[in-house]
């Protein structure tokens, strides 16, 4: 099979595209599993588009046969086979992430997600701007499922700030999840960078109205918690309870929207993490407090519940604290709970510094490559001349390069929301807007993240 990998690739891709039934073909699935595991990388890279098409068909067959878990390892092997460097992005990443999500094997994608994705080479892997957005979307969902909210936030934000001339469905889905993840991290709505595309900012007000309102209600609850942290007696506790009830009531009133977007689980988690936000506010006010005092100010029912919640937050690294069982006190920010006071933490810090230096080298090389690109230089000169004459900047996409941003383009191959009312005016002339249930995100419509 290795000696004739290119021939096997064309035969399997043709059979999968034309001869496999919708309910699945077990013989095709087993043959493709062996091929993806044993094929020769030099040969399959000569037909990258066929190889990625075969992987997509293979993932669909695995889902139809109920063998989603069995396709995870072959797809991960296929990524390493196709990608010339560890940090390269390919269309296979989206299929691999989908398989991990459907099989609920979030940790299986850890190795791929830990790689610093920076290499985008359409000539070598056939990657498109849609593939990059789906990488961020599905990758963000995997990190959300693993409760690594900060990393999920970064992935969603990368998709949102990608240059685009239209409002595509994937970006809007990422924006909605960005709001929820931001509320889980710090209880506040996210601040989008200034370089976010104007069509996205315009569409956000209409497409994400419910999420913006949810963020405001959650912010009010956080403000009430911060006020209660410095109050004694029942007044502060009553304020926290009222704010929490308001948040839960609003979430219930918009349940149809959350369900339509597949965000029921995340919204439920936002409501449930109100006590954590209250405890974080308490740690900024007190150096120590009784368990009963924590329960009263955080809006919890009893001291035992407050102890359990604090222990969970200590385990996840959200607060520096310890429970003094003898005095039944919670002590916050104690010196012996310093997260950097161990050799493991020092080794981790050294590893992060090494990765930063490696990433700096990659960024410098990419910057040099773009600055020497003839198309980039000529477009820069044209824009300088136009600006000097008081005209408008030419924002039409140039040829694809090695940088991720060059694939943001005009979004011409992306599903988008356009033309109609409530779309945010993101459509372009001569194109028809696609609904949020467009094929690019159709699979995730069936993945209610309440399974997280």
Alpha carbon distance 225, 241 (integer Å): 9
Q: Are 295 and 306 in contact (CB under 8 A)?
A: yes
Question: What does the alpha-carbon distance between residue 344 and residue 306 come to, in Å, rounded to a whole number?
Answer: 29
DSSP-derived 3-state class of residue 396? coil
Q: What confidence score (pLDDT) does residue 2 get?
A: 81
Q: What are phi and psi of 139, to 5 degrees?
A: -60, -40
Please tell me the predicted confidence (pLDDT) of residue 334: 52
Coil, strand or helix at 330: strand
Q: Is 398 helix (H, G, I), strand (E, B) or coil?
A: coil
Query: Cβ(74)–Cβ(37) under 8 Å?
Result: yes
CA distances from 99 to 21, 280, 349 (A): 20, 36, 33
Tokens coding 183: 């509320």
Cβ atoms within 10 Å, residue 308: 13
Q: Which H/E stretch holds residue 444?
A: helix 442-445
Which residues, listed in sequence order, are joined to residue 322 by a DSSP beta bridge? 331
pLDDT at 287: 78
d(CA 146, CA 31): 32
CA distance 151 to 144: 8
370 sits in which H/E element: helix 343-371
The pLDDT, as a whole number, for residue 386 is 63
Question: What is the DSSP code (8-state) at residue 435?
Answer: P
Its pTM stands at 0.76
Residue 201 to residue 208: CA distance in whole angstroms = 10
Measured torsion, CA atoms of residues 249, 253, 255, 258, in degrees rounded to the nearest 10: -90
37 in helix, strand or coil?
helix
Per-residue model confidence (pLDDT) at position 418: 39
- Check: CB of residue 387 under 8 Å from CB of residue 393: yes
445: enclosing H helix or E strand: helix 442-445
Q: Are 70 and 32 in contact (CB under 8 A)?
A: no
Cα separation, 410 vs 254, in Å, equals 33
* CATH dotted code for 215-337: 1.10.10.10
Number of H helices, E strands in the chain: 22, 5
pLDDT per residue as tens, the chain (452 positions): 788 999 999 999 999 988 888 888 999 999 999 999 999 999 999 999 999 999 999 999 999 999 999 999 999 999 999 998 888 999 999 999 999 999 999 999 999 998 888 888 888 888 999 999 999 999 999 999 998 999 999 999 999 999 888 888 999 999 999 999 999 888 888 989 999 999 999 999 889 999 999 988 888 776 665 555 455 544 444 555 566 677 888 888 999 999 999 999 999 988 877 777 777 778 777 778 888 888 777 767 778 888 888 888 887 777 778 888 888 888 887 544 455 567 878 888 888 899 889 888 888 988 888 888 888 888 888 777 665 544 444 445 444 444 443 343 333 344 444 333 333 333 333 333 334 444 444 545 555 555 55
Q: What is the pLDDT of residue 34?
A: 96
Q: Report domain extents, the chain.
A: 1-108, 215-337
- In this structure, the strands spanning 329-332 and 416-417 are unpaired
List the structure tokens of 142.
Answer: 């995997």
Alpha helices in 66-197 (DSSP H): 72-82, 92-103, 110-114, 122-125, 129-145, 149-160, 169-186
**What is the torsional sign of CA 398, 130, 109, 176?**
positive
Q: Cα angle vertex 216, ends 212, 221, to 5°?
A: 145
Residue 304, pLDDT score:
82
H or E element at residue 372: none
Cβ count within 10 A of residue 330: 27
The token duo for 257 is: 């929207």
């Amino acid at each position: 099979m290795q000696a004739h990998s290119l021939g096997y690739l064309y035969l399997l891709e043709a059979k999968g595209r034309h001869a496999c039934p919708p309910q699945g073909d077990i013989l095709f699935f087993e043959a493709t599993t062996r091929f993806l595991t044993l094929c020769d990388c030099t040969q399959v890279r000569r037909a990258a588009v066929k190889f990625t098409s075969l992987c997509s068909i293979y993932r669909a067959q695995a889902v139809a046969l109920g063998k989603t878990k069995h396709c995870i390892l072959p797809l991960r092997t296929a990524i390493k086979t196709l990608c010339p460097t560890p940090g390269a992005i390919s269309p296979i990443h989206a299929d691999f992430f989908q398989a991990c999500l459907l099989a609920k094997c979030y940790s299986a994608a850890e190795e791929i997600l830990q790689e610093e994705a920076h290499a985008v080479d359409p000539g070598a892997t056939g990657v498109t701007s849609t593939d990059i957005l789906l990488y961020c979307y599905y990758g963000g969902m995997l990190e959300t499922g693993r409760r690594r909210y900060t990393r999920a936030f970064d992935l969603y934000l990368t998709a949102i700030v990608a240059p685009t001339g239209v409002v595509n469905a994937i970006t809007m889905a990422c924006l909605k999840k960005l709001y929820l993840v931001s509320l889980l991290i710090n209880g506040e709505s996210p601040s989008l960078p200034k370089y976010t595309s104007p069509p996205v900012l315009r569409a956000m007000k209409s497409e994400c109205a419910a999420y913006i309102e949810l963020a405001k209600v959650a912010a009010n609850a956080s403000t009430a918690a911060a006020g209660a942290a410095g109050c004694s007696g029942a007044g502060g506790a009553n304020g926290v309870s009222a704010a929490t009830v308001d948040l839960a009531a609003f979430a219930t009133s918009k349940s149809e929207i959350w369900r339509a977007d597949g965000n029921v689980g995340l919204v439920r988690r936002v409501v449930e993490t109100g006590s954590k936000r209250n405890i974080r506010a308490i740690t900024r006010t007190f150096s120590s407090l009784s368990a009963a005092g924590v329960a009263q100010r955080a809006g919890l029912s009893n001291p035992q519940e407050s102890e359990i919640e604090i222990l969970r937050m200590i385990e996840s690294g959200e607060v520096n604290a310890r429970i003094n069982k003898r005095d039944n006190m919670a002590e916050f920010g104690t010196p012996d709970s310093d997260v950097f006071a161990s050799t493991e933490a020092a080794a981790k810090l050294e590893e992060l510094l090494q990765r930063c230096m490696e990433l700096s080298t990659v960024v410098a090389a990419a910057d040099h490559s773009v600055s020497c690109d003839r198309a980039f230089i000529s477009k820069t000169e044209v824009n300088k001349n136009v600006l000097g004459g008081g005209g408008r900047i030419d924002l039409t996409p140039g040829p694809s390069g090695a940088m991720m941003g060059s694939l943001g383009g005009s979004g011409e191959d992306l599903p988008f929301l356009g033309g109609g009312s409530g779309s945010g005016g993101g459509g372009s002339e001569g194109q028809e807007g696609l609904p949020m249930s467009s094929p690019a995100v159709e699979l995730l419509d069936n993945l209610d993240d309440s399974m997280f």
